[in-house]
Structure 1
Amino acid sequence: MTAPERIREIDAVRGLALCGILPPNIVAMTGVHRGAPVDPGPAAHVYETLLHQRFFPLFSFLFGLGSVLFLRSARLRSDRPRDVLLARFGFLVLFGVAHQMLQPNEILLPYALAGIAVVLPASWLPRWATLVCGIAFTAASLAIDQGGITLIPGLFLLGMAAAEYDLPDLAGERGRSLAVVFAVTGAAAIALNVWQIAGGGAAFDTPLPATAGVVTAAAYATGLLMLLRVPGLGGALSFVLEPLGRLALTNYITASALILAADALLDLGERPRVTAAAGTALAILALQTAFSRLWLRRFRQGPLEWVWRCLTWWRLLPNALPSTGGRTAGTG
């Protein structure tokens, strides 16, 4: 039951997604009123165009991609890999139900249910059909429901298609293609975000904010993948983001507890302050980065990731690294 080698770039992008969804979670959990006024101020524009709905699509896409990678791994260990994947989603339901006691708007429960309803059936589809369905579901969500939670099925399918078409390997091998994608998505993101700002409060009654969010998420991901190639800077980004991404479940759930503790101490909801909210986000990320790095010096997986893995395979699996210092990282 040794775990397969991780794809470090995916961990880094997942870590970036965790960083990005933290401020919106702080806003949602502390009662800060961030409604869309007729003429939003600069802080609201920054929040709406750089953070809100900009990282949730990325997190959802990665969940679909990771599901395919897990299924591939399960095929090497079980003659019924889809049953294992179903167990993985089923136990994620329990994590989601428990987490809702801290964060009523959390995403683990919707992810688990969408995994059962969408990812499992789609695992029998040819990859071209998964891609077509992903595009159609995403477009329908944006056009009909203006994004939100209904984006999850389409983004899951797009992530699955990306894995089936070996996008992680292609991204690592084709730097020029990656630069082209970043240039296109970056330019489109700037245009859509400027359009959203120009629309003001009226833009929130249209598909524009959610569409800008999906495109901006793609620009963030490809931009990070390019920066990871820069000597020095790439190492610094990996130092921070990879541990966060490897302990994604642990960090996502514990962040909710830390947000509630910070709100009780600082009254973030009663006295909304940008500096206090930003400081809270930075403090939580600094604490989680330090914890993640220290934990991974001794263990293969984070504490909740390990529990989830043991439940999925219904057996107690080793997690401690060998005392010799060898490190075997895994996705299973």
Structure 2
Amino acid sequence: MYDVAGRERIHELDAVRGFAVCGILVVDIWQITDMTPTVASGEAMDPLRHWLSVLVEGRFFPMFAFLFGLSFTLFLDSAAECSARPRLVLARRLIALGVLGLIHQLFQPGEALLPYAVVGSVILLPASALPRWLILAGGLVGTAGVALTLSGGLALVPGVFLLGVAADRFGLVDDLRGRTWQIAAVFALALPAAAVTAVWQWRTPYLELWTSSIEPIAGLLGALTYLTGLLLVLRTGFGEVLAEILEPMGRMALTNYVSATALILLAERHLHLGGTTRYAALLGLAAGIVLLQAFVSYLWLSWFRYGPLEWVWRCVTWWRIVPLGGAAPEGVASMGLSRR
């Protein structure tokens, strides 16, 4: 997630980030290739696209934004232990992310890195000095207000970022493995709410979705359900196996997010998904990219401490060459969640 001197990695959140990268990939493919969402009449969604919209679209982006806000404040706290000017370090980190996002925009218009950098600079840096209750209030109001009035999308980023900051300020990620019952309680409340709103979204005619707030509301509740559900699964035997796949992908989330764009564009030269409703082919492409990135991430982190783009980002952040060779101290050969 971030590993600054003096701070331990939270491996469960690495796995959640890897999960979010996988989910975002599906939506990125149809956006980058400009696939058609509707049947020939244009009045209804393609059936498979309809299912994907309800199960995937808007569910993983809030999760990723929440984790970014959480990482922001954790990095700021850790940077304060290593630098006399931690905000300057963080500002340089955000500028580097913005430059990368600007380049990435040329190949994936609407990508997330540039908005993340801008919102982080304009909102998160000043907000980090505010009382935690005010950060939480701002996050709740910003998230709910946008979902009810602006139909979500990138407009959700500021509010969800602040919720991520508040999660750290209220200590919700401290001793995360000891909060199983709290996570289970949230999951038990979120699951039926997500199911009800998903059915509502499913039954809303396609043309009415443009003026309805059901998509962002269902997306946020779905994101909360996926987040808490995955954290519960990671506490099982199957979850330990799943973590072997997701944690390396989460630790290399930046590299995987950017490289996925290149892989999609290369694949599109042969698949020609643009303007079609071949969503089965989309799922096949997504599965292939996930398998490739999971393998490469695991292998790379067996040899190196950081992913390629993560290493460049870190060097610019600290304005020095950071050692890359050698696996991180926590290792990647066995990623059981008994380690924190």
TM-score strictly above 0.5:
yes
- TM-fit CA distance, 1:310: 0.3
Could you tell which deviates more after superposition, 128-137 or 138-147? 138-147
Match of 2:217 in 1: 211
Deviations 1:37-60 (A, max 9, x none): 543343132111111111111111
- TM-fit CA distance, 1:298: 1.2
For residues 225-304 of structure 1, the aligned pairs below 5 Å read: 225-231=231-237, 233-304=238-309
Match of 2:335 in 1: none
**Cα RMSD for the two superposed structures:** 1.7
Distance 1:49 1:302 in 2: 32
Q: Are 1:5 and 1:328, in contact at CA under 8 Å, matched by a contact in 2?
A: no
Q: What letter matches 2:25 in structure 1?
A: L
Note if 1:197 corresponds to 2:202: yes
Q: Are 1:321 and 1:328, in contact at CA under 8 Å, matched by a contact in 2?
A: no
Could you tell which deviates more after superposition, 298-307 or 30-39? 30-39
Match of 1:82 in 2: 87
Deviations 1:218-250 (A, max 9, x none): 10000000000012x011110111011000100
Match of 2:163 in 1: 158
Match of 2:190 in 1: 185
Match of 2:26 in 1: 23
Gaps of 5+ in 2: 333-340
Equivalences, count: 326
- TM-fit CA distance, 1:327: 4.2
Match of 1:12 in 2: 15
Note if 1:111 corresponds to 2:116: yes
Match of 1:221 in 2: 227
Q: Are 2:135 and 2:166, in contact at CA under 8 Å, matched by a contact in 1?
A: yes
- TM-fit CA distance, 1:319: 1.6
Q: What letter matches 1:216 in structure 2?
A: G
Distance 1:214 1:183 in 2: 15
Q: What letter matches 1:294 in structure 2?
A: L
Q: What letter matches 2:70 in structure 1?
A: L
Match of 1:317 in 2: 322
TM-score computed with the length of structure 2 as normaliser: 0.92
Q: Are 2:197 and 2:214, in contact at CA under 8 Å, matched by a contact in 1?
A: yes
For residues 81-100 of structure 1, the aligned pairs below 5 Å read: 81-100=86-105
With over 3 angstroms needed to count, the CA separation of the structure-2 counterparts of 1:182 and 1:195, relative to structure 1, is same
Distance 2:54 2:73 in 1: 31
- TM-fit CA distance, 1:4: 3.4
Match of 2:72 in 1: 67
- TM-fit CA distance, 1:72: 1.2
With over 3 angstroms needed to count, the CA separation of the structure-2 counterparts of 1:12 and 1:326, relative to structure 1, is closer
Could you tell which deviates more after superposition, 262-271 or 295-304? 262-271
With over 3 angstroms needed to count, the CA separation of the structure-2 counterparts of 1:317 and 1:328, relative to structure 1, is farther
- TM-fit CA distance, 1:3: 6.8
Distance 1:41 1:275 in 2: 11
TM-score computed with the length of structure 1 as normaliser: 0.94
Q: Are 2:80 and 2:86, in contact at CA under 8 Å, matched by a contact in 1?
A: yes
Distance 2:255 2:277 in 1: 27
Q: What letter matches 2:223 in structure 1?
A: A
